[in-house]
Amino acid sequence: MGAENLPAGVQLAPHDERRRSQRVILRVSVKLYVAIEGKPDTIAAFTSNVNDHGALLISPESFQPNERFVLEHGQTRERMGCRVTRKSQPGAGGFQVAVEFERAAPGFWRIAFPPTNWKAEDG
């Protein structure tokens, strides 16, 4: 599969060769089911990029490493437990929150990832 087979607007993120699965730039709306001060809450967020093991989210709320919540895919309503992998970073539109799924979930994002040896052409 080459670049012509990627969904419209999908690009590979840099440095994919060091990851256990490829990361693809993709915006998907998600809901985060969290507990804030012991009370259940829902936060609307979206993905910046995704892979079979998790995602980089843009969230209005900041999270600390190892915080856990349930992420719901905005289109399929499928849910997956997540763990925050590093301290949230402020960015455009909210906080960048890196999350890892409780288990690898090929197909969760409903896209076909490019082969591991695929590289974008320069030019």
Domains of the chain, CATH where assigned: 30-106 (2.40.10.220)
d(C-alpha 86, C-alpha 69), whole Å = 14
Residue-level pLDDT, tens digit, the chain, 123 residues: 344 444 455 454 444 444 467 889 999 999 999 998 889 999 999 999 999 999 999 999 999 999 999 999 999 999 999 999 999 999 989 999 999 999 999 899 998 876 667 676 665
- pLDDT tens-digit readout, 8-31: 554 544 444 444 678 899 999 999
d(C-alpha 80, C-alpha 32), whole Å = 10
Cβ pair 71, 52 in contact under 8 A: no
Q: Which two tokens stand for residue 91?
A: 């960015």
Q: What is the pTM of this model?
A: 0.77
